[in-house]
Structure 1
Amino acid sequence: MTTNDLPKAGFKLAKIAVGGVVLIGLGMATMAYAKNKPLHTVEKVELDKYLGVWYEVARKPMYFQNKCDRDVSATYTLNENGNIGVDNRCYSKDGQLNESVGEAFIKNAPFNTKLKVSFLPESVRWLPVGRGDYWVLKIDDAYQTVLVGEPRRRYLWVLSRSAQPDQAVVKEYLDYAQSIGYDIGDVIYTKQTQK
């Protein structure tokens, strides 16, 4: 390289730097735009296919799962009243089983894509307070992987029928979450010791 080439090299580096800044800016603008758009659910959830055991494979951090270190699962059953029984389980670092039993109320039957979940004591669950949103945002036709969130995009779960799912599928679901406005920079990948 000669001294005549230095200005050319500096110009090329400046172009690359500007291009990188523009790409980062476009990515951030796209995410901000997606975050301001209304959040859409899947078209319909067939409850009989959705019921059963799901393993958590990824989630955004949330205070009510602070004790969960590994082996997080959710089991959904149909109650006699037509609501969904929810049994969430996980193990803490010291190996203690933590369990939360609640009930999910379908808010948009017959589509079944928007639910409200309550973990209040059973005797007062009928009160329409203390309920969290549970929206089905993406699910495959075979009901093997699901993305669940809520309209403010603070909470997010990727659930699978397998405790050890294909990581390419998990990435696909997280990429989709990002495309609809979720910040996935702080996602926790759940440790699952079962096969």
Structure 2
Amino acid sequence: MIAGGAVFAACALFAVGTAAAVPAGADVPAAGPAPVPELDLGRYVGTWYQSAAVPQYFNLVCARDTRAEYAALPNGDVSVHNSCTTWSGSANEIRGAARVQDARTHAQLRVAFPGVPTQESLDGPVNYIVTALGPDYSWALVTDPARISGFVLSRQPALTDQQWRDVVSAVRGAGEDPCLYLTSPTTGGRSDISPLCRL
């Protein structure tokens, strides 16, 4: 999934849900971010555009058009296909799967990518939490238990001004700093890279 931890090309992109290790001495709130009360996976699967993200080593190769495609699998898991366009104009992608770890909300998942250290198995801990959703599933905020990663996903390449305000409010509500989130250039959407706190 895009948000929270993926890795593209040698670990370069993941538009949804993998956490990095917490640095020693990091000031992390005692309680992790709360998931949304209920996630309808049937509505959540499909294509998402990355509208903003907390920069991570695995997506530095991505210059624009980062997106995630999720599809329901027969066993109840979700297939994950993350892709982007690199700075050289080439395509970059990675495929994996996600598994719900929270039977009550369905909003806490484990995302895994074969060959990616610490992310090879679906049997590991939660690394993808949907913490906020637009009422019509038009946008989503995803992070991880330690709030190291963060992704703003959108069904359309562009968000409206009101949606951006809602996103910034959701980021703060999740206990995160909107200044750490940078907008992601997307064809048909924003072309700049700016902190959300300055929108």
Q: TM-score range by the shorter chain?
A: 0.7 to 0.9
Q: Distance in 1 between matches of 2:38 and 2:122?
A: 26
1:136-177: CA deviations, max 9, x gaps? Answer: 101122111111111111111111111011133123212321
CA contact (8 A) 1:86 1:103 kept: yes
CA contact (8 A) 2:133 2:141 kept: yes
Q: 1:92 aligns with which of 58, 72, 86?
A: 86
TM-score by length of 2: 0.73
Question: Percent of aligned pairs with the same residue?
Answer: 27
Offset of residue 82 of structure 1: 1.2
Aligned residue for 2:157? 163
TM-score by length of 1: 0.74
Change (3 A) 1:132 1:119: farther
Q: Distance in 1 between matches of 2:82 and 2:121?
A: 19
- Name the aligned partner's letter for residue 169 of structure 2: D
| Residue 101 in structure 1 maps to residue 95 in structure 2 | yes
Q: How many residues align?
A: 161
Give the superposed CA RMSD.
2.4
CA contact (8 A) 1:36 1:181 kept: no
Q: Distance in 2 between matches of 1:66 and 1:97?
A: 14
Q: Distance in 2 between matches of 1:89 and 1:57?
A: 14
Residue 159 of structure 1 aligns to a residue in which SS?
strand
Offset of residue 179 of structure 1: 3.3
Q: Distance in 2 between matches of 1:105 and 1:113?
A: 10
| Residue 58 in structure 1 maps to residue 52 in structure 2 | yes
Offset of residue 184 of structure 1: 2.4
Q: Distance in 2 between matches of 1:142 and 1:181?
A: 23
- Name the aligned partner's letter for residue 128 of structure 1: D
Residue 127 of structure 2 aligns to a residue in which SS?
strand
Comparing 169-178 with 58-67, greater Cα deviation is found at 169-178
CA contact (8 A) 2:172 2:178 kept: yes
Aligned residue for 1:74? 68
User: Which runs of 5 or more structure 1 residues have no equivalent in the other structure?
Assistant: 1-31
Residue 169 of structure 1 aligns to a residue in which SS?
helix
- Name the aligned partner's letter for residue 70 of structure 2: Y
Residue 175 of structure 2 aligns to a residue in which SS?
coil
Structure 1 moving runs of 4+ over 3 Å: 34-38, 124-127
Q: Distance in 2 between matches of 1:193 and 1:157?
A: 18
